[in-house]
């Protein structure tokens, strides 16, 4: 096995008992090198250390996360320490806990004990042939194989698996010590493939549309068993032998403007307009590299390079919009024309009216995103039928039992929406307020049962004046918005996605 590129630099006065969880940045280190050395992701390291950029400094201390665990009933620190094979004191230090008390719903960083790990540069010749891995939500054999640089076949053989199906909580034996054959199943993407990192709000449909491939092609390339994605997950986008059109230069004025979109960075925008990051920061009086979605940036003189898009690609994108509108019941024709005909324009206008969008009959960026989100929520609310009758469990976020906000958290994340764990009251502070008359499937409906005006319950609106939630009396159950008990406690609704 090759030695990891990142080096662990420990102060001479520091012992394992003092700070076993910290990695100290060495000259030449980067987050990607450290992530690779410790079989984790850059996103996870940034999350564990509250980093807002990829910049790190020499001797900076970093926590290397082994996992992020949401506390459930009976999840004592001693139980978690045994489950993850990490000392209690390490978990307490990583989360700055003054004592052993934790709260249900609290998310804990489970740190990797850096010293003496096989991932450091001091790899022992007696390194173990395998280690254990616990399957978490969103995992697939391909993702695990890619993360630990082994083949899918090797993992299946080590665990006597006859299929690619995994179960959350399943313990896998991950073989180590052997180089991956480039012809095996977990091989790196070819020169004609693209590796894409999933970001918040992504879905297979959106990614497929962005790269001009089918959802099935992405599923096949990545051995996906479902459409559930995890933020930070790496996907192979196979583009085959299709020719890539060269970029064409478009002259810019002395100062154009640009509106920041999801996934943008200063370096990406600077490259697009053939300018430097420093020029962009000076023009906009920026002190950091942080930008936000919707922010308008002034672009100093330069040339923008944009991908040349043939007319048929625009039609293909509209065909996908028509297909999604058909899924949502707005588009009635059996075939997708790919054109802005009267039926398509009317369908878009009807959707825009229902969702409170500017009514222009065009599939602009805001409308396309809203349609995409509506399709996700359509699948989500239909899927809730598979959970009817699961018992109520305070703090529950699994199929063993849910509370009301735990069910919201579970369903959104299952369907690829990166939704942090929150309370019903916390969810009520998010999103866009929706009038009862404008409710759409997937909107959240809120109730104040215990104290007037104090939110204590939440559910999904299903459509047809019905909603579903985890209730203490029936578990996951469907109710009418006019239910004699619940209607008197109804407060309002929010569209959070």
pLDDT tens readout for residues 405-417: 999 999 998 888 8
Same domain, 418 and 323: no
In this model, does residue 120 exceed pLDDT 50?
Answer: no
As a dihedral over the C-alpha atoms of residue 194, residue 199, residue 201, residue 207, rounded to 10 degrees, the angle is: 0
C-alpha distances in Å from residue 334, one per residue of 98, 306, 376, 444 = 62, 35, 21, 32
Q: Tens of pLDDT along 77-90?
A: 888 888 888 888 88
How does residue 494 score in pLDDT terms, banded at 50, 70 and 90? very high
Q: Tens of pLDDT along 295-318?
A: 788 887 644 444 433 333 346 778
Of all helices (H) and strands (E), which one includes residue 83? helix 77-84
Whole-structure pTM over 0.95, yes or no? no
Model pLDDT, residue 428: 92
Instruction: Find out whether 152 and 145 touch, Cβ atoms under 8 Å.
Output: yes
**Residue 318 belongs to domain spanning:** 311-363
C-alpha distances in Å from residue 436, one per residue of 155, 265, 481, 492 = 50, 38, 10, 7
**Is residue 372 included in any domain, yes or no?**
no
Percent of the chain that is helix, strand, coil (3-state, to 5):
30, 20, 50
Q: Which of the pair, 218 or 177, is modelled with greater confidence?
A: 218
Q: Percent of the chain, pLDDT > 90?
A: 14
**Is residue 370 included in any domain, yes or no?**
no
Q: Tens of pLDDT along 128-156?
A: 466 777 776 556 777 777 667 677 777 88
In this model, does residue 240 exceed pLDDT 70?
Answer: no
Same domain, 346 and 404: no
User: Residue 65 sits in a domain of what CATH number?
Assistant: 3.10.350.10
**Span 196-215, average pLDDT:** 73
Model pLDDT, residue 178: 39
Same domain, 73 and 88: yes
C-alpha–C-alpha distance, residues 393 and 475, integer Å = 8
Hey, which of 190-194, 269-273, 400-404 has the most confident mean pLDDT?
A: 400-404
The SS3 of residue 197 is strand
**Span 458-470, average pLDDT:** 92
**Is residue 140 included in any domain, yes or no?**
no
Vertex 306, ends 300 and 310: CA angle to 5°?
A: 155
Total domains, the chain: 5
């Amino acid at each position: 096995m090759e030695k990891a590129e990142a080096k662990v630099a420990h102060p001479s006065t520091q012992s394992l008992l003092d700070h076993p969880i910290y990695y100290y940045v060495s000259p030449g280190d980067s987050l990607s090198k450290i992530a690779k050395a410790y079989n984790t992701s850059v996103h996870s390291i940034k999350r564990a250390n509250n980093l807002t950029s990829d910049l790190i400094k020499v001797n900076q201390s970093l926590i290397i996360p082994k996992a992020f665990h949401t506390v459930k009933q009976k999840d004592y620190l001693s139980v978690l320490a045994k489950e993850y094979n990490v000392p209690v004191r390490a978990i307490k230090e990583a989360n700055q806990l003054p004592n052993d008390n934790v709260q249900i719903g609290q998310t804990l960083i489970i740190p990797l004990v850096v010293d003496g790990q096989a991932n450091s540069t001091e790899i022992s010749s007696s390194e173990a042939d395998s280690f254990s891995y616990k399957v978490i939500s969103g995992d697939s054999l391909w993702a695990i194989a890619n993360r630990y640089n082994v083949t899918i076949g090797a993992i299946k053989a080590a665990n006597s698996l006859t299929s690619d199906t995994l179960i959350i909580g399943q313990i896998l034996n991950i073989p180590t010590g052997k180089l991956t054959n480039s012809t095996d199943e977990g091989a790196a993407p070819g020169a004609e493939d693209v590796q894409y990192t999933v970001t918040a709000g992504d879905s297979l449909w959106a990614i497929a549309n962005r790269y001009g491939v089918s959802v099935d092609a992405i599923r096949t390339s990545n051995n996906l068993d479902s459409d559930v994605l995890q933020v930070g997950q790496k996907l192979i986008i196979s583009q085959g032998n299709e020719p890539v059109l060269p970029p064409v230069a478009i002259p810019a004025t002395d100062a154009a403007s640009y509106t920041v979109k999801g996934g943008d960075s200063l370096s990406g925008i600077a490259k697009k307009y053939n300018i430097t990051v420093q020029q962009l920061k000076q023009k906009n009086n920026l002190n950091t590299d942080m930008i936000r979605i919707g922010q308008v940036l002034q672009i100093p003189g330069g040339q923008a390079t944009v991908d040349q898009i043939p007319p048929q690609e625009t039609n293909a994108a509209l065909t996908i919009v028509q297909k999604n509108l058909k899924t949502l019941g707005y588009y009635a024709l059996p075939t997708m024309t790919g054109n802005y005909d009267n039926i398509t324009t009317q369908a878009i206008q009807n959707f825009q009216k229902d969702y409170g969008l500017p009514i222009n009959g065009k599939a602009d960026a805001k409308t396309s995103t809203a349609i995409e989100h509506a399709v996700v929520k359509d699948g989500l609310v239909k899927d809730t039928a598979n959970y009817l009758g699961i018992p109520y469990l305070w703090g529950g976020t699994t199929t063993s039992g849910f509370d009301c906000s735990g069910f919201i958290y579970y369903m959104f994340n299952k369907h690829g929406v990166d939704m942090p764990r929150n309370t019903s009251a916390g969810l009520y502070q998010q999103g866009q307020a929706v009038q009862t008359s404008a409710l759409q499937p997937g909107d959240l409906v809120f109730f104040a049962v215990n104290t007037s005006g104090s939110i204590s319950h939440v559910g999904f609106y299903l459509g047809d004046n019905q909603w579903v939630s985890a209730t203490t009396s029936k578990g996951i159950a469907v109710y009418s918005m006019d239910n004699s008990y619940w209607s008197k406690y109804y407060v309002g609704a929010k569209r959070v996605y």
